[in-house]
Structure formats: structure tokens, C-alpha cells
């Protein structure tokens, strides 16, 4: 997708301004999104996706990635303050600046996202569940809070439910992507959980299927599903079409978890993807939430 277009991102494969293709399981600014919010949601999406690419994509060494993210952060601060940016990422910040001004977006949520992407460059292991959840607090939860800010839903209970949904989506994404992340040297499964299930780092790096790893992934998926269900009542608080889109997002996360289960929790060797039938299942389940 051309980043300079007015198209809204959808599920499927999309290309960023850096020319990187991405497969997306979940809808972003779909037809269910209220039209007045689509430009804002797309601006937030491209801001986050471009920063993620700077941290993760290509062959640049870590010092180059960090330098790029420092420059990206400087452009964000200029954008927040209504000042000119470097124009290096004009397609991102020319969209984002009017959105920040129009909706008074909380700057700390945008900077939290950047801190998570910066962490991705240097941190490839997580010792505890608390460490992983702190990463999700900055890498996933700000997106949900930004969207609720747009919709005018800002009470503490709703924000907490949004955090549950966003963290659950992030965790489900981790657990479906073991076959992608581990070969790149990144293991999001906390090492304290390895010990609980008798799994070693060498076993994970081998990408072989064994009962201990299967049990570890199964427990991780169950935890993510429980978190998603904890946040699910939020779908009844978000007004109108946006609430229906949130229903589909929740059902998308739950469906991916279900497909991981159908694969026998062996995502270190295969990655589940959603198809047309899955979309129909998600829509039916969303209707009955």
C-alpha cells in the first residue's frame, strides 16, 4: 500500500514506506471504523509500524537502528510541539501532526511506543512474566488507549480492559510467531516459565517439537486467552461501528489462539494464519458477544 494514499489499512499483506511487506491478522481502520476517525487511526498505525520497521527490519546493525530511532523520536517531539520535522519520514509525520493537534493525543503514549521499539533493538530475552508484561505495556497498550482517546472513552475501568485486550493480542502474536522470532535470536517466552516446564534455551533454539515446549506454549496461550476474556466486556462500551470493529479484533485474537491449539501448540515449526472461513467464524462470534 502506498503510504501517501488515503486508503485504510486492512487485514492481509501491506507495504510500509520503507518497502517492507507485512502480514496483518487484525483489521486496522476497516469499513466498520467511523469515517471521521480513519485518517487519525491510519496516522497512528503508520507511526507505530514505521518505528517498528526501524527497530526490526533489514540488515542494519543495532547502532544504526538506535540512531534512526533517536532521529525518529526527535521528529516526534517536533511534531508534538508543532514544529517542522526533518522530512525524513514526511509521510508519517505530515499525517500525524494534525491528528495530534485535532485530538490532543497524549504524548506519553506515543513516546511509550518508541521506548518499546528501542528496547527491541537491544533486548532479546525476558527473564520474567513481569518483564514481558512491562514490554507489552509500552508496545501494545498505548495503541488501545490512543483509540479509546479518539472515541472519548477514558474512564479507568475501560482503560484497564483495553490494556488486557492489547496485551493479549501482543502475546498471541508472540506465540504464533515462534518460528519467525526464534531463528532471529529473539525469545519472548520468559525464562522463568522455561524452568517451570523443564525447557532449556538450547531446546527452544533447536525449533524441535517436544512435550515440554508444547506444554510451555499451551500454558502461554491459555494465559493470553484469559487476559483477552478479562478485557472483552469493553466491546459494549465503545460506541457504534467502532464497537463492532473491536468485537472482531477480540475474536481475531481468540481465533488465532484457537488455531495455535489446533496445530498442537507447535508454532516453533509452523505459523497459523487466518483465512476467509476464519473471518466468517469471527463475524458470527462477534455477533453473539
Whether residue 113 lies inside any domain: the answer is no
Q: What would the grid cell of residue 145 be?
A: 488507549
Whether residue 6 lies inside any domain: the answer is yes
Asked whether residue 236 falls in the same domain as residue 158, the answer is yes
Asked whether residue 177 falls in the same domain as residue 253, the answer is yes
* pLDDT value at residue 222: 98
Distance CA 36, CA 264 (A): 42
Asked whether residue 277 falls in the same domain as residue 189, the answer is yes
Asked whether residue 270 falls in the same domain as residue 128, the answer is yes
Task: Find out whether 246 and 232 touch, Cβ atoms under 8 Å.
Answer: no
Burial class (CB in 10 A: 0-12, 13-18, 19+), 245: buried
Task: Find out whether 8 and 61 touch, Cβ atoms under 8 Å.
Answer: no
Q: What would the grid cell of residue 120 be?
A: 527491541
- Tell me the whole-structure pTM to 2 decimals: 0.87
Number of structural domains the chain divides into: 2
Instruction: Specify the residue for cell string 516526534.
Output: 76
Asked whether residue 170 falls in the same domain as residue 221, the answer is yes
Domain boundary among 75, 106, 137: 106
Asked whether residue 80 falls in the same domain as residue 188, the answer is no
Report CA torsion sign: 13, 189, 220, 133.
Answer: negative
Whether residue 210 lies inside any domain: the answer is yes
Whether residue 51 lies inside any domain: the answer is yes
Write out residues in the chain with pLDDT < 50, as ranges.
1-27, 29
Asked whether residue 12 falls in the same domain as residue 138, the answer is no
* pLDDT value at residue 122: 94
Q: DSSP assignment, residue 9?
A: P
Taking alpha carbons only, the member of 110, 95, 174, 172 closest to residue 142 is 110
Asked whether residue 153 falls in the same domain as residue 75, the answer is no
For residue 162, the Cα-to-chain-centroid distance in whole angstroms is 13
Q: What would the grid cell of residue 68 be?
A: 534512526
Please count the residues of the chain.
289
Asked whether residue 172 falls in the same domain as residue 80, the answer is no
Whether residue 182 lies inside any domain: the answer is yes
Q: What would the grid cell of residue 119 be?
A: 528496547
Asked whether residue 204 falls in the same domain as residue 174, the answer is yes
* pLDDT value at residue 4: 34
Taking alpha carbons only, the member of 188, 191, 183, 204 closest to residue 266 is 204
What phi, psi does 246 have (nearest 5°)?
-65, -35
* pLDDT value at residue 31: 56
Task: Find out whether 190 and 127 touch, Cβ atoms under 8 Å.
Answer: yes
Whether residue 118 lies inside any domain: the answer is no
Asked whether residue 142 falls in the same domain as residue 100, the answer is no
CB neighbourhood size of 190 (10 A) = 20
Whether residue 114 lies inside any domain: the answer is no
Residue 89 lies in domain: 1-106
What phi, psi does 187 have (nearest 5°)?
-120, 115
* pLDDT value at residue 2: 33
Amino acid at each position: 500500500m502506498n503510504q501517501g494514499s488515503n486508503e485504510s489499512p486492512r487485514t492481509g499483506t501491506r507495504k510500509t514506506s520503507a518497502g517492507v511487506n507485512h502480514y496483518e491478522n487484525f483489521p486496522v481502520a476497516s469499513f466498520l471504523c467511523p469515517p471521521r476517525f480513519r485518517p487519525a487511526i491510519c496516522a497512528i498505525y503508520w507511526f507505530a509500524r514505521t518505528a517498528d520497521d526501524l527497530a526490526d527490519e533489514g540488515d542494519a546493525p543495532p547502532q544504526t537502528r538506535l540512531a534512526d530511532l533517536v532521529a525518529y523520536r526527535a521528529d516526534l517531539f517536533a511534531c508534538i510541539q508543532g514544529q517542522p520535522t526533518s522530512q525524513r519520514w514526511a509521510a508519517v509525520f505530515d499525517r500525524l501532526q494534525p491528528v495530534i493537534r485535532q485530538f490532543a493525543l497524549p504524548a506519553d503514549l506515543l513516546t511509550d511506543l518508541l521506548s518499546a521499539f528501542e528496547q527491541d533493538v537491544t533486548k532479546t530475552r525476558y527473564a520474567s512474566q513481569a518483564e514481558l508484561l512491562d514490554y507489552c505495556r509500552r508496545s501494545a497498550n498505548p495503541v488501545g488507549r490512543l483509540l479509546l482517546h479518539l472515541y472519548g472513552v477514558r474512564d479507568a475501568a475501560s482503560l484497564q480492559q483495553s490494556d488486557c485486550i492489547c496485551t493479549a493480542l501482543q502475546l498471541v502474536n508472540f506465540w504464533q510467531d515462534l518460528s519467525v522470532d526464534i531463528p532471529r535470536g529473539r525469545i519472548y517466552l520468559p525464562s522463568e516459565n522455561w524452568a517451570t516446564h523443564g525447557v532449556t534455551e538450547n531446546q527452544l533454539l533447536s525449533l524441535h517439537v517436544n512435550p515440554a515446549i508444547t506444554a510451555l506454549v499451551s500454558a502461554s496461550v491459555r494465559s493470553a486467552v484469559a487476559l483477552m476474556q478479562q478485557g472483552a466486556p469493553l466491546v459494549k462500551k465503545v460506541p457504534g461501528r467502532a464497537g463492532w470493529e473491536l468485537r472482531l479484533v477480540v475474536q481475531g485474537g481468540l481465533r488465532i489462539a484457537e488455531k495455535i491449539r489446533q496445530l498442537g501448540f507447535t508454532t516453533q515449526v509452523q505459523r497459523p494464519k487466518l483465512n476467509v472461513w476464519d473471518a466468517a467464524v469471527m463475524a458470527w462470534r462477534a455477533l453473539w458477544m
